């Protein structure tokens, strides 16, 4: 029999008692979910379920473990990860009713009997990733039902025999794919736990060697997981945190730098998530609250600033995952992490933030098949809610909707001549992938600047570049530059949060939300502007629709499309206007043509701002560029009420 004490699993009964005190109603929710499982109804909605479902599937008789109710095999994979098992075990710990432990054991016995390891099952129930996740589910749930006297005779012996098969299988299920994919980490987390369970040093050593190799390959120096998906970044973190926790409680040394790498991932995540603690829907990701994971990391890695990121309230997942003492320590920790504007230079994620606003732009590698064609995409969150948002993923089957959700038009970026800069081939592949060109950035107290471009249109002789300038709290201007010859059509896309309303009037869009308002003002001349209905998915398998502003402009040769965005609290009126200004050289008085420079004068609630943007080098001898009564030297100049003399953001 394996080692099933409280060393790393916690004390389920004690945690259940505290759950009732700390989270009123949570115990009933868990028991209700368990009751549905007993009735044969399965739905996968755990907080960190990788591919959630919302429509229950009911088995009236025996369970078909290979059943696929939809076109998406992810349902079958989820069923065989066995999240139902810890759910039933928790219900037993909460209620003390044997029916939950009996149902948990019966389901596992049925699965062991009917789903043997075979070449066929390796494609579904026994994929290595499912095997690794299933081990953690079994091992975390079994201590809670160990004391139930009415379990089938020999149940734990049958479980042990099957877990031995899992261990042997995971030990050989390793290759180049596992080394680079999140799969490898999720698999070998399971093998490590089995090493503890069976007190088998060979499993422990093998899994730790692989995990150490995995994180050295998969985690970029800036702390971001290479697959560019916040969802899978967290899944990798959670697996590694389980290893750190189990190793600490069992006295198992970890490789040098192991915990430091995970801590770096957490610190990156703290800056990468939105101010409400939720993940961006970047690449294949859901809108999920990640603060519990940060608190978990803070406790295990002795980083109080991350523990307090939970704002003094440990989450339910911390209670079940860490135990009572850790839960209380997280709740009592005060302080916080200082959140600044950030450039993740390896992954190409750039963030500008102030007290009430958060803007994110992506100009980095695609990552894996989970990556979307989102180069130069921006997310904007203000005053407690999304303003501009990623459209999300919805599902994984190779469908027209999957194509739509991964395409540039589903993101807040721009295209040329209706052609995708990164071209979809199938659910996990592209026929061509645009090369990102990371630009300059500067974060100053009163003004910030991020930029980037890509080579997605180089075969057409076109180069595109985006500059985002922060001028004051909640005020931004975007310059989209298209370096081209001949006539082309440029299409800009801005997807609004559908929890508010977006209205197009007088050439600008006003967004009115519950806690935030915004105005978006495109300055492209003679452009067609229209709000279109587009799909939006915050959660896997859940589809909504929202409003997207599409701006289509016919350009001749070089063009720069300027867009001004202002945000404020929902109760505040935004009075925003902007106009283009000529740019001159002070030495000669020459007015520069549009392919060389643009300037914009912005008026926001009575304050004036001027930005001068050069698109190429123009000064051959000593002199300044000027617009709207302001002059200075540099490629990007900002003049604001806080900086009346102006500041150069790029030379």
Question: Tell me: the pLDDT tens digits for 517-569?
Answer: 999 999 998 899 999 999 999 999 999 999 999 999 999 999 999 999 999 99
N- to C-terminal Cα separation, the chain: 69
Distances (CA, A) of 229 to 97, 266, 579: 40, 14, 38
DSSP 590: P
> CA–CA separation, 455 vs 437, rounded Å?
7
- Per-residue pLDDT at 1: 45
Alpha helices in 1-97 (DSSP H): 12-22, 26-38, 74-79, 84-95
- What does the block give as tokens for 72? 């998406």
Q: Note whether 576 and 519 are within 8 A (CB).
A: yes
Bridge partners for 584 per DSSP: 591, 626
- Per-residue pLDDT at 313: 67
Q: Note whether 371 and 229 are within 8 A (CB).
A: yes
More confident residue, 182 or 307: 182
- Per-residue pLDDT at 8: 62
- What does the block give as tokens for 342? 């950030």
Report the 10 Å Cβ neighbour count for 95: 16
Check pLDDT > 70 for residue 586. Answer: yes
- Per-residue pLDDT at 6: 45
Check pLDDT > 90 for residue 11. Answer: no
- Per-residue pLDDT at 337: 75
> CA–CA separation, 391 vs 543, rounded Å?
10
Distances (CA, A) of 102 to 4, 225, 258, 299, 600: 18, 40, 39, 34, 70
Strand ranges across the sheet with 414-416: 414-416, 487-495, 542-556, 528-539
- Per-residue pLDDT at 90: 96
Residues 6+ apart with CB under 8 A from 395: 51, 72, 74, 401, 402, 540, 541
Place of tokens 């990556």: 371
**Spatial CA neighbour of 81 closest among 204, 203, 235:** 235
> CA–CA separation, 309 vs 291, rounded Å?
6
Check pLDDT > 90 for residue 61. Answer: no
Q: 331: pLDDT confidence band, cut at 50, 70 and 90? A: confident
Please, what is the average pLDDT of the chain? 95
Q: Note whether 103 and 91 are within 8 A (CB).
A: no
The domain spans of the chain are 398-573, 575-651
Burial class (CB in 10 A: 0-12, 13-18, 19+), 60: exposed
The overall pTM is greater than 0.85 = yes
Q: 620: pLDDT confidence band, cut at 50, 70 and 90? A: low
- What does the block give as tokens for 390? 């990623």
Per DSSP, the three-state class of 555 is strand
DSSP 56: -
> CA–CA separation, 518 vs 495, rounded Å?
13
| CATH class of residue range 398-573 | mainly beta
Q: Note whether 457 and 441 are within 8 A (CB).
A: no
Place of tokens 């993940």: 279
Check pLDDT > 90 for residue 10. Answer: no
DSSP strand pairing (436-443 vs 429-432): unpaired
Asked which of 115-119, 166-170, 622-626 is least confident by mean pLDDT, the reply is 622-626
> CA–CA separation, 309 vs 296, rounded Å?
10
- Per-residue pLDDT at 4: 46
Mean pLDDT of 3-13: 63
Q: 312: pLDDT confidence band, cut at 50, 70 and 90? A: low
Residues 6+ apart with CB under 8 A from 300: 241, 244, 245, 248, 259
Distances (CA, A) of 326 to 60, 153, 229, 333: 41, 36, 29, 11
Bridge partners for 481 per DSSP: 465, 560
- pLDDT tens per residue across span 318-327: 888 788 888 8
Q: 344: pLDDT confidence band, cut at 50, 70 and 90? A: very high
- Per-residue pLDDT at 321: 78
> CA–CA separation, 354 vs 188, rounded Å?
40
> CA–CA separation, 20 vs 26, rounded Å?
7
Bridge partners for 477 per DSSP: 469, 564
């Amino acid at each position: 029999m394996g080692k099933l004490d409280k060393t790393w699993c916690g004390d389920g009964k004690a945690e259940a008692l505290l759950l009732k005190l700390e989270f009123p109603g949570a115990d009933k929710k868990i028991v209700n979910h368990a009751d549905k499982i007993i009735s044969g109804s399965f739905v996968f909605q755990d907080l960190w379920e990788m591919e959630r479902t919302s429509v229950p599937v009911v088995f009236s008789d025996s369970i078909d473990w290979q059943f696929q109710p939809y076109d998406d095999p992810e349902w079958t994979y989820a069923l065989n990860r066995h999240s139902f098992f810890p759910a039933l075990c928790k219900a037993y710990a909460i209620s003390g009713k044997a029916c939950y432990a009996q149902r948990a054991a019966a389901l596992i016995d049925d699965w062991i009997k009917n789903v043997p390891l075979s070449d066929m099952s390796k494609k579904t129930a026994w994929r290595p990733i499912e095997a690794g996740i299933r081990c953690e589910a079994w091992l975390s749930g079994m201590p809670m039902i160990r004391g139930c006297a009415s379990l089938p005779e020999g149940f734990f012996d049958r479980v042990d025999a099957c877990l031995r098969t899992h261990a042997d299988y995971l030990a050989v299920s390793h290759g180049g794919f596992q080394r680079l994919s999140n799969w490898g980490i999720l698999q070998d987390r399971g093998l490590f736990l089995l090493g503890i369970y069976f007190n088998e040093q060979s499993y422990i050593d093998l899994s730790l060697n692989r995990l150490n190799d995995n994180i050295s390959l998969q985690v970029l120096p800036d702390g971001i997981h290479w697959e560019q998906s916040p969802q899978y970044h967290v899944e990798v973190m959670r697996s590694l945190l389980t290893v750190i926790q189990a190793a600490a409680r069992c006295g198992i040394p970890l490789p040098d730098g192991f915990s430091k790498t995970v801590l770096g991932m957490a610190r990156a995540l703290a800056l990468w998530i939105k101010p409400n603690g939720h993940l961006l829907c970047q690449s294949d990701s859901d809108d999920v609250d990640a603060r519990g994971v940060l608190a978990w990391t803070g406790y295990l890695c002795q980083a109080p600033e991350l523990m307090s990121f939970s704002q003094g309230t440990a989450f339910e997942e911390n209670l079940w995952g860490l135990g009572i003492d850790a839960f209380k320590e997280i709740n009592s920790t005060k302080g916080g992490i200082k959140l600044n504007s950030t450039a993740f230079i390896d992954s190409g994620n750039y963030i500008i933030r102030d007290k009430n606003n958060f803007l994110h732009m992506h100009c980095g590698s695609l990552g894996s098949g989970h990556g979307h064609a989102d180069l130069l995409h921006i997310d904007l969150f203000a005053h407690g809610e999304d303003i501009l948002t990623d459209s999300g993923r919805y599902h994984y089957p190779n469908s027209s909707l999957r194509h739509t959700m991964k395409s540039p038009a589903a993101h807040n970026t721009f295209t040329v001549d209706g052609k995708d800069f990164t071209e979809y081939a199938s659910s996990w592949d592209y026929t061509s992938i645009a090369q990102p060109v990371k630009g300059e950035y500067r974060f100053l107290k009163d003004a910030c600047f991020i930029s980037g471009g890509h080579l997605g249109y180089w075969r057409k002789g076109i180069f595109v570049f985006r500059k985002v300038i922060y001028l004051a709290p909640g005020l931004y201007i975007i310059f989209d530059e298209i370096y081209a010859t001949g006539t082309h059509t440029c299409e800009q896309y801005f997807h609004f949060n559908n929890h508010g309303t977006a209205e197009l009037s007088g050439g600008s869009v006003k967004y009115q939300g519950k806690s935030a308002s915004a105005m978006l003002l495109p300055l492209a001349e003679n452009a067609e502007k229209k709000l279109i209905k587009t799909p939006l998915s915050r959660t896997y398998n859940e589809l909504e629709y929202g409003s997207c502003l599409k701006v289509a402009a016919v350009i001749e040769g070089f063009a720069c499309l300027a867009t001004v965005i202002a945000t404020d609290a929902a109760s505040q009126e935004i009075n925003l206007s902007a106009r283009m200004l000529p740019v001159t050289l002070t030495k000669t008085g020459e007015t520069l043509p549009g392919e060389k420079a643009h300037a914009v004068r912005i008026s926001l609630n009575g304050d004036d701002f001027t930005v001068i943007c050069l698109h190429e080098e123009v000064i051959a001898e000593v002199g300044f560029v000027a617009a709207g009564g302001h002059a200075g030297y540099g490629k990007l100049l900002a003049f604001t009420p806080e900086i009346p003399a102006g500041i150069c953001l790029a030379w």
